[in-house]
Amino acid sequence: MVKYGYCRVSSIEQEKNSSLQSQKQILLKNKIQEQNIFTEVGSASNLERPLLQKLKNITKPGDKIYVTSTDRFARCTLPAMKYIEKLNNKQVKVTAIDIGELSINGRLEITTFLYLYTGKNELITRQERVREGLSRQTIISEKK
């Protein structure tokens, strides 16, 4: 049985702000060996990320994949459920350190957490759009 870790951020800016490093430190504290930790920059809505695919392909029955939180793995509920189901069918367990094991048997819990993370992401996106709109409004006002 091999314990793997997976760290992900959405942007290079987050990578520069040491978010990947802090995720990696949490995984190391949870006894994941450094050579088994995969780090990646990419959107959580895309489950076809290269290192996530590599991780899925190298795991064997009995292996475990750890993420620091569910949103580091995925944000879209249905695709995430299907992905976790594929891993579980392969007898690979996925664990989010903040909530515990993610399994197809615990559908309610996974669905709830992924739904909450999706909602958080949509709220952040709306807030960013409002800020952008307000800044454009300020620029237009100054030109008048």
Q: What is the CB neighbour count within 10 angstroms for residue 17?
A: 12
| pLDDT reported for residue 141 | 46
Predicted confidence pLDDT, tens digits, the chain (144 residues): 999 999 988 877 766 667 888 999 999 999 999 999 999 988 877 888 899 999 999 999 999 999 998 778 777 777 778 888 889 899 999 998 887 787 766 554 555 656 665 555 554 455 555 555 555 554 444 555
Chain centroid to CA 56: how far? 14
Closest to 54 in 3D by CA, of 77, 36, 75: 36
Kindly list the structural domains of the chain, giving each domain's residue range(s) and its CATH number in brackets, ordered by start.
3-143 (3.40.50.1390)
